[in-house]
Amino acid sequence: MAQLASTIFLDEKNYKMEVCLDPFNKRIRIDDYRGKFASIITKSEELAHNNKSEKLIFKGHAKDLQKFLESGFQLEATIDNYFRGSDAYFFTKYFDANRKKNDHWITEDGMIHSIFHLEPSIEQMHPPVKYQLLRGEEKHAGKLSEMYRQVFKVYPTPLHNADYIKKTMKEGTVYYLFLDEENVISAASAESNHFYKNAELTDCATLTEYRQHGLMKFLLQKLEEELIGQGIYCAYSIARALSFGMNAVFFQLGYSYRGRLMNNVFIYDKLENMNVWVKNLAR
């Protein structure tokens, strides 16, 4: 089972930080910060060193772009309108040489190039009528975890554990799923940040034998409707860069490609690059 990431809040005299400690993925992510920039950088690098992290990630603000570059960070991706209308910038720094190497980057560039030549609007498919499209409830957690175990040998969060899925539901994560009789065959979720009015579409998976039906598009559209109902219009997703199908789904649903996070998480069967996709649901 993956080690759970944890969030800590630092409230010091000249800065404040919201920090995600992620030992399973050997990284630290700064989700929010304000105050003296130099102190924030010093503390974040100290945390990375103390936790033996290989990668440090900041969700940075536009006003700090030059400061991050001067501090040795590089820009990997962006999310439009993440901070209540202001863009977020993924700045990263690596502390392990192997974490900065990747054999798939050129292949993934070619895949994105191919996806851009797809038709954004495609003919609407209709799933077989026997499949049920439902909003996930706690009673589905066991079947959801079974499905995730079949699709992903490794996942950056403990979705193989039904109790973890129940916990995320209680904390507000919304799941939509397809059932074939009693078995979950496809699912996706939305994790909302109500303070900054954004949401991540994540945990997207379909059993191999059902992928020809285009089920994921229906699930994502239901999640978008849910978010609009919550007054959230910044939707984004971080998809496996090696998955042509998943990246094509986001492109065809009107999402915009905003960069790639190198060696970002352990998923599927290894450490992988992740593509960032963004959509303004108000349009």
pLDDT in tens, the chain (283 residues): 457 889 999 999 999 999 999 999 999 999 999 999 999 999 999 999 999 999 999 999 999 999 999 999 999 999 999 999 999 999 999 999 999 999 999 999 999 999 999 986 555 678 889 999 999 999 999 999 999 999 998 888 899 999 999 999 999 999 999 999 999 999 999 999 999 999 999 999 999 999 999 999 999 999 999 999 999 999 999 999 999 999 999 999 999 999 999 999 998 888 999 999 999 999 8
Note whether 6-100 and 105-280 share their fold: yes
Alpha carbon distances (Å) from 263 to 21, 113, 141, 160: 17, 20, 29, 22
Q: Which residues contact 228 (CB under 8 A, 6 or more apart)?
A: 281
Q: Report yes or no: 148 and 160 within 8 Å, Cβ to Cβ.
A: yes
* 3-state SS class at 129: coil
Query: What gap in Å lies between CA 200 and CA 190, rounded to an integer?
Result: 6
Domain boundaries, the chain: 6-100, 105-280
CATH homologous superfamily of 6-100: Gcn5-related N-acetyltransferase (GNAT) (3.40.630.30)
The architecture of the domain spanning 105-280 is 3-Layer(aba) Sandwich (3.40)
